[in-house]
Amino acid sequence: MSIKALQRTAAAMLVFRDITAHSAAAAAELFRSAVLEGRMSTTKPDFSDPASVVKAFILQMHCWEAIAGSLKASARARYCSEDSSTMHPEEVRLSELVRQIPPFIVEIFLTKRDRAYTPSGSYSFPPSYDPGTETVTRVIPKTKSQVIVETDRKTNYMGGLREYVVKKQGDVWLIDSLSVTIGTKKMKIPLV
């Protein structure tokens, strides 16, 4: 993990430390304000620039996956014995809290529309989203209100070309969908 990635994760963990000391509703509001105030990232997203929106989304997903995975592993180590097949009440509480975060990411970064899926709270650990391995390579204008932001993801799993469809809604650019190319096949995948 790079120094920048560690710094981003450390900043996110400080915010999460504050969040876990509160009720679920208060914690969700703390997370929302932390994201909106820019305390969860090293740069503030520019919603007038489609590439900036995609970069910020990748960073936010990275922070969420890193915190969720790390806290789950720590809670499991702290509260459960090797032979335990049930979750400790603190693990359940933590899981419920972590699952509240994706809807905020959706609200901030994705277009407002009905989706075929709802954020489930599933994540990868180590994080699948990583600003250190996924970089914007170009922005392709389609219409006045739609662009494709191409990224190149340099990983063994699900690596390669990605296309984020970004649409202008009102005064801001928001992500509408994501397609990946695996071999010669292009397919849409869930964003969160």
Is the pLDDT at 75 greater than 70, yes or no?
yes
Is the pLDDT at 1 greater than 50, yes or no?
no
Is the pLDDT at 27 greater than 90, yes or no?
no
Predicted confidence at residue 42, as pLDDT, reads 53
DSSP string, 22-90: S-HHHHHHHHHHHHHTTTTSSS---TT-HHHHHHHHHHHHHHHHHHHHHHHHHHHHHH--TT--S--HH
Predicted confidence at residue 34, as pLDDT, reads 59
Paired strand residues for 135: 152
Domain that holds residue 140: 3-189
| Plot region of 76 (φ>0 → left; ψ -120 to 50 → alpha; else → beta) | alpha
Predicted confidence at residue 153, as pLDDT, reads 85
Is the pLDDT at 45 greater than 60, yes or no?
yes
User: What is the count of structural domains for the chain?
Assistant: 1
Paired strand residues for 152: 135, 161
- Please report, rounded to a whole number, the percentage of residues in the chain having pLDDT higher than 70: 66
**What's the predicted TM-score (pTM) here?**
0.73
Q: Report the side by side order of strands in the sheet with 146-153.
A: 134-143, 146-153, 160-169, 172-182, 185-189
Mean of the pLDDT values across residues 28-33?
Answer: 59
For 82-140, what is each residue's pLDDT tens digit?
667 787 888 888 888 888 888 889 899 999 887 666 556 666 666 778 898 899 999 99
Res. 148 pLDDT band, cuts 50 70 90: very high
